[in-house]
Amino acid sequence: MATIFNKIIDREIPADIVYETDTVIAFKDVNPVASTHILIIPKKNIPTLNDINIKDTQVLAELLLVTTKIAKQMNVDKEGYRIVINCNKNAGQTVYHLHLHLIGGRKLNWPPG
């Protein structure tokens, strides 16, 4: 099912895009929880982490590689950052298109709430 993130991929709604390849795209979260809060998503429709399969290995690796590139680009790589994937309702997933949150720029609490 198409989500708001498909509209960002298709340029139907605006987003502050920070990185893009043929298979992934990254943009600033509209409601940031830290000074750096980027969403990294596959262009392919994968609703949740539960829906990945072996064919997605390459794109999943690319999501992580792109995340590390953006962390450097945003200058949070040395101080540190967190990657979050919310899966389904108990984790608070609100957009059913797989996405990694890259969160940094401040001290992050552990355990998360």
Q: Does 6 bind ligand AMP (CB under 6 A)?
A: no
**Residue 26 host element (H or E):** strand 24-28
> Which residue has 């099912």 as its token pair?
1
**Residue 84 host element (H or E):** strand 81-84
Among 61, 64, 65, 95, binds ligand AMP (CB under 6 A): 95
First to last CA, the chain: 29
Q: Does 30 bind ligand AMP (CB under 6 A)?
A: yes
**Residue 101 host element (H or E):** strand 100-104
Among 1, 11, 22, 31, binds ligand AMP (CB under 6 A): 31
Q: Which C-beta is closer to ligand AMP: that of 54 or that of 111?
A: 111
99 is catalytic: yes
Q: Residue 72 in contact with residue 102, Cβ under 8 Å?
A: no
Smallest gap from Cβ 81 to ligand AMP, in A, equals: 15
Interface positions with ligand AMP (CB under 6 A): 4, 15, 27, 29-31, 39, 86, 92-95
Which positions are annotated as active-site residues?
99
